[in-house]
Structure 1
Amino acid sequence: MTEQTSHYPIGTPGEAWGAVEKAQWLQAQRVKRSYQAEVLAKLTKLGESCELIKYGALPHKIEPSYAEHKKADAYPLFVIKSRVWQSDKPVVLITGGVHGYETSGVQGALRFAQTEIEKYQQDFNILIAPCVSPWGYETINRWNPDAVDPNRSFTADSPSPEAAQLMAYIESLAVDIYAHFDLHETTDTDNSEFRPARAARDGITQDNWNIPDGFYLVGDTEKPVPAFQKAIIEAVEKVTHIAPPDENGMIIGAPLEQKGVINYAKTKLGLCGGFSKAPFVTTTEVYPDSPQVDDENCVQAQVAAVTGGLDYLLAKESNAE
């Protein structure tokens, strides 16, 4: 951990935000990029190897002068589904953009659909939710418009419609998820903006953590599957560098379990990786602010994480036969 976070410009130190402070925070947000251009347009160009399913929609709560965003379904939500669906094959779930500001998670999920889904759909039924939080994507935010973190909201009676609608859709399929890849980033703004904002919102004092320079994974404390995580790290290492632990042997305040891997209690914390109940689950964390990477490298790292994990599962099944 490093120095304590400084005072955030909204709210009173030590007092949790109420409706007034949340409204002030929302009013300060601005659209900075286009969900339509950067996500939806790419979905329409996917080939015949997959199909698009609209599983929900979200309203637009910012800059009402954007006439096209006044409708309740300003943000249609889509899942990409492999067209070759076989009831006897395991189901793989890939989620991106649970935190909308984490760009390579969204673009990595889309790139996998563009370049890899056809290769793997003979062995897996694949579902991809490429951008769970489109408002967060457009405004480059961790939270949704209600100052709720979707990735702490994959719970019963979720306060996040982003989380609730995805969970409801997956439940409606009545399938068991075999593997779940949740694609994320850790950025410098975690310390400069989002952790200070959370401390202000909740009326607490919070320390910053050392931002790790490189890629790492977050496994599940209840089912860490270390061999699965190791295979992913080895695949990603061919594309980009792996984050070392800090001087205390930790990454973002959690003890290192193996090279590039820490564990969280995903279900208890309401994380996206916990709701699917998959026996094989991982959360990727790309570091886009490293001087050693660029945007393309970050996207490639996300794709390598998924393909590395799927290749491990294929080899595991082959060895069991």
Structure 2
Amino acid sequence: MQPTLTYPIGTPGQAWGAAERDQWRARQVRQRSYADDVLTAIEALRGRLDVEMYGDVIYADAQHPAERFPLRALRSRQWQPGLPSVLVTGGVHGYETSGVHGALRFVDTQAERFASRANLLVVPCVSPWAYERVQRWNFDAIDPNRSFKEGSPAQESAALMRLVAQHQAQYGPFAAHIDLHETTNTDESEYRPAVAARDGKVFEPGSIPDGFYLVDDADNPQPAFQQAIIEAVSRVTHIAPADDKNEIIGTPVVAPGVIHYPMKQWGLCAGISGARYTTTTEVYPDSPRATPEQCIEAQVAAVCAAVEYVCGKASER
């Protein structure tokens, strides 16, 4: 039997209040710079794509001076109504590094080859405060990737939803949305115990899948789309196997490396666009069989495969 992990904040069985959130916030240390890593990279791409300024995230409390994070997206310079449009998001969970840098590398190294075939809107880092703290939650101890719902309590999620709605009103619907994530060892050692403590629940130990996998939409499954991405990524890194229950993170495997979540019901980022083709990637940077560089390249391969797939579908019409 695995020992029960007790999180160092809160009282077991009782949901957090303001005092516990303050304790959690005090533990978060800035470890890297959103301005240096992300905004500088976006500015370097301004000559090739349009930079969309879609808002700011501002956080402060009695113990912390106000921090302002400008939110930026990259958009195809010459948006063409007749082409399929693809939304790419990264950094919804700030600690998931390859999502952020995979999105930036895709734009830098691959976007140009799709210029005459697809329109792209790329949001490399949805959650900049969490990116700097290498944290899953935002300043308010809220998971942005459960907050993409009307009246969202997460500034990051609400801002992205506004951007997508405004963009679709102006340019029309997206054909696809790929949301770039990681599953790390800290999911089991930090985040899952933290969320159990925050919500006053008992932490139930789980496992971390070794390899890349995808989350398809339970309410709009697109198996061929998922398979195209899995095939492309398998040339870069290994695909996570199912466990002895034929599951990945407690969810039934429906195809090699693919599980289903109800995206809109759970408030997941990949559910915000209403696109026909949606997926959430998950790489495993802590695997002894993969490197951080492979994880970034796996994200790039996943995005390229997604765009290629919708371009192929558009040409069939």
TM norm. shorter chain > 0.5: yes
Contact kept, 8 Å, 1:99 with 1:133, in 2: the verdict is yes
Q: Return the match for 2:173 from 160, 171, 176.
A: 176
Q: Residues 54-108 of structure 1: CA distance to partner in whole angstroms, max 9, x if unpaired?
A: 101112448988xxxx556x21000100102112222210000000000000000
By how many angstroms is 1:122 displaced?
Answer: 1.3
Q: Secondary structure at the match of 2:187?
A: helix
Paired amino acid for 1:9: P
Work out the CA distance in 2 between the residues paired with 1:168 and 1:316.
Answer: 28
By how many angstroms is 1:3 displaced?
Answer: 4.0
Work out the CA distance in 2 between the residues paired with 1:45 and 1:196.
Answer: 39
Q: Aligned pair 1:108/2:107, yes or no?
A: no
Scaled by the length of structure 1, the TM-score of the pair is 0.94
Contact kept, 8 Å, 1:30 with 1:63, in 2: the verdict is no
Q: Secondary structure at the match of 2:254?
A: coil
Paired amino acid for 1:26: R
By how many angstroms is 1:269 displaced?
Answer: 0.2
The equivalent of 1:218 in structure 2 is 215
The equivalent of 1:235 in structure 2 is 232
Paired amino acid for 1:202: D
Instruction: Select between 51-60 and 107-116 the one with higher mean Cα deviation.
Output: 51-60
Change (3 A) 1:5 1:304: farther
What is the number of equivalent residue pairs in this alignment?
314
By how many angstroms is 1:49 displaced?
Answer: 2.5
The equivalent of 2:91 in structure 1 is 97
The equivalent of 1:23 in structure 2 is 22
Q: Residues 122-144 of structure 1: CA distance to partner in whole angstroms, max 9, x if unpaired?
A: 12111001000000000011000
Uncovered stretches (5+) of structure 2, i.e. residues with no partner: none
Change (3 A) 1:121 1:71: farther
Q: Return the match for 1:189 from 180, 186, 190.
A: 186
Contact kept, 8 Å, 2:175 with 2:310, in 1: the verdict is no
Q: Secondary structure at the match of 2:266?
A: coil
Work out the CA distance in 1 between the residues paired with 2:243 and 2:115.
Answer: 39
Work out the CA distance in 2 between the residues paired with 1:105 and 1:5.
Answer: 31
Q: Aligned pair 1:163/2:157, yes or no?
A: yes
Work out the CA distance in 1 between the residues paired with 2:46 and 2:18.
Answer: 45
Contact kept, 8 Å, 2:216 with 2:258, in 1: the verdict is yes
The equivalent of 2:300 in structure 1 is 303
By how many angstroms is 1:316 displaced?
Answer: 2.6
Work out the CA distance in 2 between the residues paired with 1:136 and 1:87.
Answer: 35
Across the aligned residues of Structure 1 and Structure 2, the Cα RMSD in angstroms comes to: 1.6
Q: Residues 216-275 of structure 1: CA distance to partner in whole angstroms, max 9, x if unpaired?
A: 000000111000000000000000000001111000000000000001000000000111
The equivalent of 2:146 in structure 1 is 152
Q: Residues 186-225 of structure 1: CA distance to partner in whole angstroms, max 9, x if unpaired?
A: 0000000000000000000131221000000000001110
Paired amino acid for 2:313: K
Q: Aligned pair 1:43/2:42, yes or no?
A: yes
Q: Residues 252-306 of structure 1: CA distance to partner in whole angstroms, max 9, x if unpaired?
A: 0000000000010000000001111111000000000001111111100000001
Uncovered stretches (5+) of structure 1, i.e. residues with no partner: none
Work out the CA distance in 1 between the residues paired with 2:148 and 2:310.
Answer: 26
Q: Aligned pair 1:32/2:31, yes or no?
A: yes
Contact kept, 8 Å, 2:118 with 2:311, in 1: the verdict is no
Q: Secondary structure at the match of 1:211?
A: coil
Work out the CA distance in 1 between the residues paired with 2:226 and 2:102.
Answer: 18
Change (3 A) 1:28 1:99: same
The equivalent of 1:59 in structure 2 is 58
The equivalent of 1:80 in structure 2 is 74
Paired amino acid for 2:14: E
Contact kept, 8 Å, 1:27 with 1:62, in 2: the verdict is no
Paired amino acid for 1:128: V
Work out the CA distance in 1 between the residues paired with 2:125 and 2:3.
Answer: 32
By how many angstroms is 1:112 displaced?
Answer: 0.7
Identity %: 52
Scaled by the length of structure 2, the TM-score of the pair is 0.95
Paired amino acid for 1:228: F
